[in-house]
Amino acid sequence: MRVLDRIEQVRKELEAARQQGREVGLVPTMGALHGGHAALIERSARHCDVTAVTVFVNPLQFGPAEDFARYPRDLAADVAAAEAAGADVVFAPPVEEMYPSGVATRVEVGRLGEVMEGAARPGHFSGVATVVAKLFAIAGPCRAYFGEKDYQQLLVVRRVAADLSFPVVVVGCPTVREADGLAMSSRNRYLSPGERLAATVLWRALAAAAASGEGDGDALRELMARFVSSEPDVALDYAEVADAATLEPLGTVEGEARLLIAARVGATRLIDNLPLGVAA
Nearest to 168 by CA among 189, 137, 193, 191: 137
For a copy of itself, the closer of residues 108 and 218 by Cβ is: 108
CB of 179 to a copy of itself, least distance (A): 38
For a copy of itself, the closer of residues 57 and 107 by Cβ is: 107
CB of 245 to a copy of itself, least distance (A): 11
- Residue from 63, 94, 122, 167 touching a copy of itself (CB under 8 A): that is 167
Q: How far apart are CA 144 and CA 126, in angstroms?
A: 19
Distant-in-sequence, close-in-space partners of 30: CB < 8 Å, separation ≥ 6: 55, 56, 57, 58, 71, 186
144 lines the binding site for a copy of itself (CB under 8 A): no
For a copy of itself, the closer of residues 67 and 97 by Cβ is: 97
Q: How far apart are CA 213 and CA 96, in angstroms?
A: 51
Q: How far apart are CA 121 and CA 115, in angstroms?
A: 9
Size of the site for a copy of itself (CB under 8 A): 33
- Residue from 6, 74, 77, 108 touching a copy of itself (CB under 8 A): that is 108
Distant-in-sequence, close-in-space partners of 38: CB < 8 Å, separation ≥ 6: 81, 84, 85, 176
106 lines the binding site for a copy of itself (CB under 8 A): yes
211 lines the binding site for a copy of itself (CB under 8 A): no
Q: Judge whether 124 counts as a catalytic residue.
A: no
For a copy of itself, the closer of residues 73 and 106 by Cβ is: 106
Which segments within 199-245 are labelled E, that is strand? 234-243
Nearest to 185 by CA among 66, 39, 37, 40: 37
Q: How far apart are CA 50 and CA 62, in angstroms?
A: 30
129 lines the binding site for a copy of itself (CB under 8 A): yes
Nearest to 96 by CA among 206, 228, 227, 6: 6
84 lines the binding site for a copy of itself (CB under 8 A): no
* CA 124-130-135 angle, 5° bins: 125
Site mask for a copy of itself (CB under 8 A), range 19-58, x = bound: x---------------------------------------
Enumerate binding residues for a copy of itself (CB under 8 A).
7, 11, 15, 19, 99, 101, 103-112, 129-130, 133-134, 136-138, 140-141, 159-160, 162-167
Q: Which are the catalytic amino acids?
A: 37
